[in-house]
Amino acid sequence: MEPMKILVLNCGSSSIKFGVFQSPNEKRVAQGIVEEIGANVSSFTFQKRDAETWKKEITAKDHGQALDVILKELSNPKSGVLQDIFEIDAVGHRVVHGGEMFSKSACINEAVFQKIKDCVDLAPLHNPPNIQGIQASLWHMPFARQVAVFDTAFHQSMEPQAFLYALPYAWYEKFKIRRYGFHGTSHQYVAQRVSKIVRTPLEDLKLIVCHLGNGASVTAVDHGKSVDTSMGFTPLEGLVMGTRCGDIDPAIPLHMIRIQNMSANQLDQTLNKKSGFYGITGGDNDLRIIEQKAEMGSEKHQLALEMFSRRVKKYIGAYAAIMGGLDGVVFTGGIGENSGSIRKMICEGLDFLGIELHSDFNNENRTCISTKRTAVFVIPTDEEMAIAHEVIHVLEKEMQFNQKAENFQ
Ligand code: AMP
């Protein structure tokens, strides 16, 4: 395939994170973020490969204006990385929810775009900014291929016994209530990295990937496929997170409605924004602060660390049982990549699964940190890089398909 330049866009409600990658090897040539889109003053942070990061104030009333600033800066003759925006061959868009309609990334045409819009009901907070990003990108770069990469797609390989809840089956049929799982691009990317490191095809590996950041999830990757994952219908289920509660008895919110007359919005806020680390510690959700305060003797901060690690451990045990074995555990995300003490707490007592950490390697955040049969890895995730990788994969497949069709004619 010809060398390509790929722009990756990760649009949140008030931000656009971006990266420019060059194939082959998906070398990142620039990255940055526009924040506080819609405010009177927005901020723009930009970093060119091997250069200092700089930041300035800009005006970006909406995602379209923000993208305009990004493209101008990328093609700025003095500080940019493109001679012209026409050099961009493809744009990769992170799309949070693809429902049951997307089990892999897809080139965006009218039908695909409509399906992404149809998923808004499932992700009313996340899909709309993704859609705004796609619209702005189509407007500014109609000449480039547009590819959607879904957080949920990797988990579409789950079987019904893993993705269904034991609720009235009609809820699934009528309202699409089921486990979707998230962080899929990251889980898939780090699993692929492990396969390359150990020079073993993913098809021969049973892995448990722990993506531990402010949002956190665990996935059982069996023969390269997601067979179970801790996040569910929304990212609220599963692990204890920065501000999300993770698994709880579903009767608890009902009880709070009855005894405190709480509304759906209040419960949503509490379970998503005021729980997890934040809820237990009384206001802290940054692991670095929690570790410091625990060290200084705060019992609640220590408790939060123990609850978090215990929940991850519980999922590792469960997923090893589901897969009937385990070749490796992978840690990624801000916490997974950086906190040796959390990894230690999680892996303590798991020697029955062949897991034992090398204490120095673990403290140094080395790539391989285990001493026994089951390998334990620390692999930095890179969502934008993973999206660029997917874009190339999709376009390569499309080219092969077109070539076959041509040969057939
Ligand atoms: P993420 O959502 O992946 O960006 O991860 C954010 C979480 O990672 C926060 O809880 C941070 O406190 C934590 N984190 C980031 N860097 C470190 C570090 N060096 N040591 C411990 N935790 C970290």
Q: What is the pLDDT of residues 240-252, one digit of tens each?
A: 999 999 999 999 9
Separation of CA 287 and ligand 1 centre (Å): 6
Mind listing the domains of the chain with CATH numbers?
5-150 (3.30.420.40), 199-378 (3.30.420.40)
pLDDT at 398: 84
pLDDT at 1: 74
d(CA 257, CA 259): 6
In terms of Cα–Cα distance, which of 209, 152, 250, 221 is closest to 332?
209
Separation of CA 64 and ligand 1 centre (Å): 31
Residue 52 has φ and ψ, to the nearest 5°, of: -65, 145
Ligand 1 within 6 A of CB of 341: no
36 pLDDT band, cuts 50/70/90, is very high
pTM given for the model: 0.93
The answer to whether 62 touches 46, Cβ cutoff 8 Å, is no
The answer to whether 156 touches 354, Cβ cutoff 8 Å, is no
The answer to whether 369 touches 357, Cβ cutoff 8 Å, is yes
Nearest-CA residue for ligand 1 atom 4 is: 334
Nearest-CA residue for ligand 1 atom 19 is: 338
d(CA 82, CA 87): 7
Residues whose CB is less than 8 angstroms from the CB of residue 292 and which lie 6 or more positions away in sequence, other chains included: none
2 pLDDT above the threshold of 90: no
d(CA 16, CA 67): 8
Tokens of 198: 């150990």
Ligand 1 within 6 A of CB of 232: no
User: Which entry of 151, 222, 228, 284 is annotated as an active-site residue?
Assistant: 151
Q: What is the pLDDT of residues 132-164, one digit of tens each?
A: 999 999 999 999 999 999 999 999 999 999 999
Q: What is the pLDDT of residues 72-104, one digit of tens each?
A: 999 999 889 999 999 999 999 999 999 999 999
Tokens of 326: 């385990």
pLDDT at 79: 83
Ligand 1 within 6 A of CB of 333: yes
The answer to whether 280 touches 290, Cβ cutoff 8 Å, is no
354 pLDDT band, cuts 50/70/90, is very high
Q: Is 222 a catalytic residue?
A: no
The more confidently predicted of residues 408 and 227 is: 227
d(CA 105, CA 59): 32
Q: What is the pLDDT of residues 295-345, one digit of tens each?
A: 999 999 999 999 999 999 999 999 999 999 999 999 999 999 999 999 999
How would DSSP label each residue in 191-213? Answer: HHHHHHHTT--GGG-EEEEEEES
Cis peptide before 24 (omega within 30 of 0): yes
Q: What's the gap between Cα 52 and its chain centre? A: 27
